[in-house]
Amino acid sequence: MFLHLLYDSFDFKSWIILFFLFLLLADIIKNRSPSNYPPGPWPLPFLGTVFTKMDFRSMNKLAKIYGNIFSLRVGSEKMIIVSGYKMVKEALVTQFDIFVERPHVPLFHKIFKGLGLKMSNGYWWRTHRKFGGLHLRLFGEEKKILENNIQQESVYLCDAFKAEKGPFNPMTILNSAVSNTIACLTFGQRFDYHDEYYQRILRLDNECFQIAGTCKAQLYNFCPWLLDYFPGPHQKLFSNYFQITDFLRGEIIKHKEDWDPLNPRDLIDSYLTEMEKKKSDPKAGFNVESLVVSCLDLIEAGTETSATTLRWGLLFMMKYPEIQKKVQAEIDKVIGQSRQPCVEDRADMPYTDAVIHEVQRLSDVLPMGFPKKSVKDTKLGEYFIPKGTSISANLSSVLHDPDEWETPDTFNPGHFLTENGQFRKRDAYLPFSAGKRACLGEQLARQVVFLFFASLLQRFTFSKGPGEELSLEGEIWFTYVPCPYRMCVTSR
Ligand code: HEM
């Protein structure tokens, strides 16, 4: 009777308003934060904080308002941002068993599908991380294959720099050189810098990093089911990745043709052997699709990050020529001009080592790392974090933490030197992140960056192109990259 009266007294407009109020109430109840949940900007109904930029600069600003642990919400997806050395250490190192899984990020899930290593979870991730670590150790460190490859590649790199007539942008050459060191481990071969097909693959991958950092592409995470049917940067990202994975599939087919399980030449061969061994354990995830994604993981995670670090390194050397001279003096003293740098030299070159560390500290190459999620309810600082909440560590805020660094925003190799010029480690140096999901390729990256940097400064002096303004302000992609610059190289 009462419902009947209510029905009769409501017109169409009132029903719409009632329906909207019902949805609003459902949204509020669904997204209600538990008590003692970290504070954050006020979320809009249904949308949350979807209009908040997700780059590290915006996160630094929000941390100043809400503190070192604050919350955001994209649609219904809750996330926590942690800043500063103490809190990031608490999350990634002290609670290493809790923030260990990757959350579901639709923009990346479409490509990585939770396979491979970087975006996988649970047993699948553990078996792939173990396999990847073993492969890198075997081919990289024990057999010294990696060091020999980097040394060989640095000859090609220096020759390509020398062949440039006049000022040039080093990006393409550095990307090619770095990717070749990883290609040797993955495909057992390097690619010529003029190989058009491979260059196209590198360009596509470079674009992916650029697109993935834009707000427009990240909007896809808010409503993938709808945006799948609309054009936009996310479609370009997917198309690029599909072309890259096609290339990887081709390489795998070629490997299968002459694969000899007793003589693994590279990652693909070793993986094919692992697939045979793990046939009875499908949950370990060793299959062809996962191999494609694993190749993408290594190539992608390693090339853009290490090549960008080198680009920042050369930029800092041009900006601070007196520091460049001191690095060259150390190279001349320890290595000389008659042989190539090797990994063992690093221990005798504290100044160069300190300069490279300072380049990595100040350049913020992967400023927000990759997101993780909590596998159970926990407490972080004074706040309650429910199971399944995404968490991002603002690595940039650690590398610039005023409580940890004497001159946080100034290029100062002294951060990594003792009073008598010896190298000193710093706890807050976390460009490779920390904890169980820390970078798998740290040792490889350190070798690549050291050997290329030392080889380049052994052979050349770097200066800016005429009329070039060198800016230390970078561009925010998924990585943080220097603005394009042109440089001159002078043989020494
Ligand atoms: C200067 C170069 C590099 C930097 C700054 C860097 C930095 C990072 C960071 C910050 C993470 C995220 C860790 C986290 O989630 O907490 C990561 C993950 C990863 N990196 Fe690197 N990286 C570099 C080079 C490399 C190289 C050369 C490789 C391999 C060839 C590599 C392979 C990986 C992999 C596989 C992961 C995912 C690990 C996992 O989920 O278990 N990285 N890296």
pLDDT tens track for 277-294: 999 999 999 999 999 999
In a domain, 423, yes or no: yes
Residue 19 lies in a domain: no
pLDDT for 4 beyond 80 = no
Cα of 47 from ligand 1 centre, angstroms: 31
pLDDT of residue 2: 66
**Cα angle 24-25-31, degrees, rounded to a multiple of 5:** 90
What is the rounded average pLDDT of the residues 10-31? 83
Residue among 418, 394, 398 nearest 408 (CA): 398
Rounded distance from Cα 438 to ligand 1 centre (Å): 7
Q: What percent of the chain has pLDDT over 70?
A: 99
Closest C-alpha residue for ligand 1 atom 26:
302
The partner residues of 77 in beta bridges, in order of sequence, read 74
| pLDDT tens by residue, 170-204 | 999 999 999 999 999 999 999 999 999 999 999 99
Amino acid 6: pLDDT: 66
In whole angstroms, give the CA distance from residue 336 to residue 459: 10
Q: Is the pLDDT of residue 8 over 80?
A: no
pLDDT band with cut points at 50, 70 and 90 for residue 3: low
Specify the CATH number for the domain of residue 455.
1.10.630.10
Q: Which residue has the tokens 């173990």?
A: 130
CB 158 within 8 A of CB 459: yes
Contacts of 386 (CB under 8 A, 6+ apart): 34, 37, 78, 374, 377
Please count the structural domains in the chain. Answer: 1
Quick one: pLDDT at residue 29?
85
Say what the pLDDT of residue 138 is.
Answer: 84
Assigned domain for 22 exists: no
CB-ligand 1 contact for 129 (6 Å cutoff):
yes
- C-alpha span between 360 and 415 (Å, rounded): 12
Query: What share of the chain has pLDDT > 90, as a percent?
Result: 84
Structural domain for 237, as ranges: 48-491
Residue 118 lies in a domain: yes
pLDDT at 144 over 90: no
Asked whether 390 lines ligand 1 (CB < 6 A), one says no
Which ligand 1 atom minimizes the distance to the CA of 449?
A: 1
Ligand 1 atom at shortest distance from the alpha carbon of 182: 30
Please provide the average confidence, as pLDDT, over all residues in the chain. Answer: 94
297 lines ligand 1 (CB under 6 A): yes
Tokens of 336: 């000389």
Q: Do the domain assignments include residue 168?
A: yes
Give me the residues paired with residue 487 across strands. 168, 464
Q: Is 99 in the pocket of ligand 1 (CB under 6 A)?
A: no
Nearest Cα neighbor of 464 from 326, 364, 316, 309 is 316
For the beta sheet containing 69-74, the strands, ordered from the edge strand earlier in sequence to the opposite edge, are 69-74, 77-82, 390-393, 372-374, 99-101
Please identify, by atom number, the ligand 1 atom nearest to the C-alpha of residue 371. Answer: 15
Report pLDDT for 188.
Answer: 92
Pairwise CA distance, residues 94 & 472, whole Å: 34
Mutate to test the pocket of ligand 1, among 439, 443, 479 (most ligand atoms within 8 A of CB): 439
**Is 330 a residue whose pLDDT tops 80?**
yes
Compute the distance from residue 437 Cα to the ligand 1 centre, in Å.
9
Answer whether 481's CB lies under 8 Å from 474's CB: yes
The answer on pLDDT for 132 being more than 80 is yes
Q: Read off the pLDDT of residues 212-263 as tens digits, 9 standing for 90 and up.
A: 999 999 999 989 999 999 999 999 999 999 999 999 999 999 999 999 999 9
Q: Does 35 reside within a domain?
A: no
* Domain assignment of residue 367, yes or no: yes
In terms of Cα–Cα distance, which of 24, 84, 26 is closest to 60? 84
Mean pLDDT for the stretch of residues 72-89:
94
Question: Per residue in 358-405, pLDDT tens?
Answer: 999 999 999 999 999 999 999 999 999 999 999 999 999 999 999 999
Q: How far is the CA of 117 from the centre of ligand 1 (A)?
A: 11
Question: 10 Å Cβ neighbour count for 273?
Answer: 16
The pLDDT tens digits of the residues spanning 39-79 come to 999 988 888 888 888 899 999 999 999 999 999 998 888 99
With a cut of 80, say whether residue 5 has pLDDT above it. no
What one-letter code names the amino acid at 40?
G
* 82 bridge partner residues: 69, 393
370 lines ligand 1 (CB under 6 A): yes
Is 34 domain-assigned?
Answer: no
